[in-house]
Structure 1
Amino acid sequence: MKDKIILKSVDLFLNLGFKSVTMDDIANEMGISKKTIYQNFQNKTKLVEATAMNVFENISHGIDCICALNKNPIEEIYDIKKFVMNHLKDEKSSPQYQLQKYYPKIYSNLKRNQFDKMMTCVTHNLERGVAQGIYRDSIDIDFIARLYFNSMLSLKDPELFPRENFSISMLMNNYLEYHLRGICSTEGIKTLTQLNTNQN
C-alpha cells in the first residue's frame, strides 16, 4: 500500500503541485480512507519527502541506464533530456520550485543529491567528449559541470522563466544548444548539426 500511495502522490504532485494537493485529494483519488495514508506516513511532509526521493531515485536509475550505453556524448545528453522530460510530465506545476518554497529542508536534501548525481554524470560526459575530440580539450571540466547544474536549476524557476512565456521543453532545448555550442570542437559541431537535422 505504501508504494501505491507514493505512486499516486507522484502523479498528483507533479501535475498539480505539492502545495495544492491535500491528503484528502490523494485518499479520494485512490478510493481509500485518509487514515490509511496516515498509517503509512506520519504527515504530509513525510509523504512529500518520500515522493520527492522516489522521483529522484527513478530518474537517477534511468540516467545510469542511458550512460551505461556509452553512446556519443552529445547523443547521451539529448537522450537524458528526453528521458527526464517524459518522467517529469513537462513539470506543469514547477514542483522543484514549490519544494524550495514550502518544504525547504526536503528541497535542500534533494538538491544535494541532485548535485552529486549530476556532477558525476556531467563530468563523465565531458571527459568522454574531450577524449573523443567532440568537445574542446581546453574546457575546464569542473567549472562547466557546476555551471550546467546551476543553469538547469535556474530553468525551473518560474519567476525567472514564467511558464506562460517559456515551456520547460523550449527552455531545455535552447539551453542544451547553448551549452553544446560553447564546448563542442569543430567535429562536435558537425555531430550536433546532424543530430538537430535528424530531430527536426
Structure 2
Amino acid sequence: MPPSTLQQTILEETQQLFLQHGISGLTLDALIQHLKISPATFRGMFADKDDLVLQVARYDLERQKKEHAALFAQTSSPVERILMLLQHGIGEMQKVPGTYYVQVQEQHPATWDMLMEHLTTYSYPQIHGLLNEGILQKELRGDINIELVTKIILEQLNLILNPVVFPPSRYNLSEVFRSVYLYYVRGLCTEEGIRAAAAHFSRL
C-alpha cells in the first residue's frame, strides 16, 4: 500500500534531515520536533526510528526507479541507458554523507539488508538486461561475458565513489566517470555502440 500524502511528506523531509545531520545525529524526539508532528501522529505511521529509517530508504528507492524510467524514455540505446544509469547513481551517492551507509549498516540492519536485496534484485538484473539488450541491438560485442561485465560495471561505480582512491579535493568526479566508463564501455561496444557512447559523452 503506497504511503499517504502526509506520510510521503514526512518521508521526504526525514530523508533531507538524514542527509544534513546523519541518521544517528538526530534522536527520535528531535526528528519528531523537526517534522512538526505530534508523537501520536508519528506512532500512527511508524513503529519506531528503525521503522522510519527503513521506510525512508524504501521510499527513496522507489523515487530512483521512477527517475530511471524517465531517463530511459529519453533514448532507446542500451549503451546510453547504461551510462545514464551510472551517472544517475553517482549523482545520488554524492548527496549522501560519507558516514550514512556505515550508520545504516551498524545501527539499522533491516534497512541495510533491504538495500543489499535491492542491489541483487534490481540493480544487477537491470545492468544485466541492458547488456543483453545491447548485444541483441548490436551495440555491444556478442562475445562479452554478461555476468562478469555486470559485476565489473557495478564494482567500478564503488571505485569511482571511493574517496580514498579518488579524493574529491584532487579529482573531478565527472572526469573520473568519463575516464573509467568511456574507455571501458567503448571496449565492449561495436562501431554502432561506440557512436552511442560518444554521443552521450559529448553532451556531458
Q: Give the match for residue 20 of structure 1.
A: 25
Structure 2 unaligned spans of 5+:
1-5
Measured against aligned partners, the alpha-carbon deviations of 1:99-122 in whole angstroms (never above 9, x if no partner) come to: 223323321222112221112211
Query: Matched residue of 2:26: which SS?
Result: coil
Q: Alignment identity in percent?
A: 21
Matched, 1:113 2:113: no
Q: CA deviation at 1:80?
A: 2.7
Q: Give the match for residue 46 of structure 2.
A: 41
Q: CA deviation at 1:93?
A: 0.8
Tell me the distance in 2 between the aligned counterparts of 1:22 and 1:168: 33
Report how many residues are paired: 198
Query: Matched residue of 1:122: which SS?
Result: helix
Q: Contact between 1:135 and 1:185, CA under 8 Å: does it hold in 2?
A: yes
Q: TM-score, normalised by structure 1?
A: 0.78
Aligned 1:1-200 pairs, distance under 5 A: 1-67=6-72, 71-84=76-89, 88=92, 90-94=94-98, 95-153=100-158, 155-156=160-161, 172-199=177-204
Q: Contact between 2:138 and 2:193, CA under 8 Å: does it hold in 1?
A: yes
Q: CA deviation at 1:59?
A: 1.3
Measured against aligned partners, the alpha-carbon deviations of 1:134-160 in whole angstroms (never above 9, x if no partner) come to: 212110112211332344345555566
Tell me the distance in 1 between the aligned counterparts of 2:51 and 2:189: 43
Q: TM-score, normalised by structure 2?
A: 0.77
Structure 1 unaligned spans of 5+:
none
Q: 1:163 to 1:68 in 2, by over 3 A?
A: same
Q: Give the match for residue 3 of structure 2.
A: none
Tell me the distance in 2 between the aligned counterparts of 1:51 and 1:25: 17
Query: Matched residue of 1:24: which SS?
Result: helix
